[in-house]
Structure 1
């Protein structure tokens, strides 16, 4: 092997050395980019909060969070962070349908912090797993509703059936809602349940530990463990977590204690107490109107 005749050419060895040096330099430049790509998260788990009384206002916000999760291509799984005694039957059904739609598109796992009862339990039934703490309160598969209210003196109705529901008709309506509630429990959890349909319909509440034993819940664990489960179900090993802030509650004013204490509601959110509006509740706790509570305190 020789140099070029004029002495200015490069030997093959020198040319090879230059190529290697250029490759090393290029690798040094591109290495950080390749490293960033290799260490980027596989995907994202969204944590959506369901807290407090379930009303039309609070459900609208949660439904929007779930819709965003479904439409965002970077979201691969959802965790429902639940701490609620339930609430309006209609709102609870709407939330159930929204969770069910989300679960059809990506893994959904529920995590009960303190209470996940009645309408809140209904809403998380489509989740593939329900995580609870040993002292969590879950269950209360039942519906309640008031008896028809009195009309105002001299009230004029547009038709004979306007605001004319009887106590028997109201009971039939409640039983229809109850059958749908119990039916959903059996549909989603029949493979895990150690309880009969009749036992479920008794509307008992259970501690988290007992709920895992009888199949009302799946695992004892914290919210971070529920997040890990959701990520695993979505096939994610390295993932980000985004948390949706719980909505500010509006409409009905309610309070509830963890042991099923008093739930306080306004006398009439519409400001007209004589309107016979069938308000059905899927809520765990004794229900009193705000005026009744104030009267008890004054007495």
Structure 2
């Protein structure tokens, strides 16, 4: 009876305007929290997840959900948190990505390299499913690359995706008109066919970005390929783990458990805790939790807008 009276009084107060309750529909963002996945040693091994399409764009949320930070943002925040933690003795990059935009892939690799130089701890990469194109580009920042026996890697190269909707627009009676300062201002426009000169200009940019891809592979700690040897295996094809090992693109074939054992030995703590960072409300129950992010057509086209233009991508797009 007393509860009913209290509820009735609260309703009356709200209706009369005597009280105001501010309850946001979307809760404010929380900083990253740490979760121990396994182990009980003194030192920590951070399992850093690089899954799905690599992009600098935020992931849109639902009607009552906040958009999620981009992978670039999450990796930067995670590395900053790890750098401040004296117990972090090593990092494992768990990679399951077909790649993404050139810029996002390059930023993440750069941030990992800077972290390695400052923290001076081992950083190992483990490709668990797919580590192609930009996914492999990021892996080159690690001291060593291991791939699961069934993993796919490679796809070294650059792709520029462009739709031509001129014919479709003509069929539905829509005409596009552009006023521009120069004849190249709308280069690679989806509303018309690219001219041979525009294709040549696009190819020149692709060649430079491809050259940078080769540069980062040549710079990776355990690279043993010459530039000429690297070019022969970098024509865009994908490789199984066995083929990648033979091509000297990876260093070992093994499982994530093997990489954990390896890095525990390297840091001198056989029971080192394997930890991950997460947003409160997102639970991870094992070292493989969250490893299979959705990377379908919509994900693969992240950072690419068919109407607004084209994007240069380090992306495997079958």
Do they superpose with TM above 0.5? yes
Quick check: which has more Rg, 1 or 2?
1
Q: Does residue 76 in structure 1 map to residue 99 in structure 2?
A: no
Identify which of 207, 216, 239 aligns with 2:272. 239
Which 5+ residue runs of structure 2 have no aligned equivalent?
A: 1-39, 57-69, 167-174, 189-197, 283-289
2:14 maps to what in 1?
A: none
Q: Secondary structure at the match of 1:156?
A: coil
Distance 1:188-1:265 versus aligned 2 partners, 3 A rule: closer
In the alignment, does 2:232 pair up with 1:199? yes
Q: Aligned to 2:301, which of 247, 258, 265? A: 265
Is the 2:159–2:313 Cα contact (8 Å) retained in structure 1?
yes
For normalisation by structure 1, the TM-score amounts to 0.69
Gaps (5+ residues) in structure 1? 1-39, 257-261, 287-299
Instruction: Name the residue aligned to 2:99.
Output: 86
Judge conservation of contact 1:147–1:167 (CA < 8 Å) in 2.
Answer: no
Tell me the residue number matched to 2:253: 220
Counterpart-to-counterpart distance in 1, 2:135 and 2:230: 19
Structure 1 counterpart of 2:179: 156
Q: Is the 8 A contact 2:303 2:311 kept in 1?
A: no
Contact 1:144 1:282 in 2 (8 A): yes
Deviation of 1:185 after TM superposition, in Å, equals 0.9
* Count of paired positions: 234
Q: Shift in Å at residue 207 of structure 1? A: 0.8
Q: 2: distance between equivalents of 1:67 and 1:154?
A: 47
Residue from 127, 133, 155 that aligns with 1:112 = 127
Deviation at 1:201, TM superposition (A): 2.6
How far, CA to CA, are the matches of 1:228 and 1:44 in structure 2? 13
Q: Which whole-Å CA distance do the structure 2 matches of 1:196 and 1:137 have between them? A: 20
Residue 202 of structure 1: how far off its partner (Å) = 1.3
The structure-2 alpha-carbon separation of the partners of 1:237 and 1:265, relative to structure 1 and needing over 3 Å to count, comes to closer
Match status 1:61 vs 2:74? yes
Q: More helix by proportion, 1 or 2?
A: 1
